[in-house]
Amino acid sequence: QVQLVQSGAEVKKPGASVKVSCKASGYTFTGYYLHWVRQAPGQGLEWVGRIDPNSGGTNYAQKFRGRVTMTRDTSISTAYMELSRLTSDDTVVYYCARGYGSGTFDIWGQGTMVTVSS
C-alpha cells in the first residue's frame, strides 16, 4: 500500500543540525512532490517546504530559508529534511506528506519527534 515511513525520534543540542528521512513505498516516488510539515507540542501545523523528487527542485517557507535543506535519493525512494542551527523552538514533530494535485497532502508519514535540549 502507499505509505511514507519516517526515521525515529531525535534529541539534539542547541546549535546542532538534524536530518530526518522519509521513505516512500507503493507508488512512483518521482511522480509526486514531497512536502514537510511541522507541529510544535499542542500547536498547529506549519508548512516547512517541498521537494520535487524528479528534479530535486525545492521551495521553502520564508521562515526557514537559509536554515533548511531538502534532498532526495531516488535509488531508495527516500527524501530528507535537514534543519540547522537548532533552537528550543525547533522542538516539534516533523511530518512528510505526499503532494497530490494542487495543494493537497494526501498521504502522511507517522511523524518524527525532534527535541532540542541542552
Which region among 7-15, 23-31, 56-64, 77-85 touches another protein (by CB under 8 A)?
56-64
Q: Whose Cβ is closer to another protein: residue 25's or residue 100's? A: 100
Q: Which residue has the cell 530526518?
A: 20
Q: Give the cell for residue 29.
A: 516516488
Pick between residue 104 and residue 118 the one whose CB is nearest to another protein.
Answer: 104
| Interaction mask 67-106, another protein, x per CB under 8 A | ----------------------------x-x--xxxxxxx
On whether the CB atoms of residues 56 and 42 are closer than 8 A, the answer is no
Q: Which residues contact 51 (CB under 8 A, 6 or more apart)?
A: 33, 34, 57, 58, 70, 71, 72, 79
Collapsing DSSP states into helix, strand and coil, what is residue 51? strand
> Residues in the site for another protein, rule: CB under 8 A?
35, 37, 44-47, 50, 59, 61-62, 95, 97, 100-106, 108-111
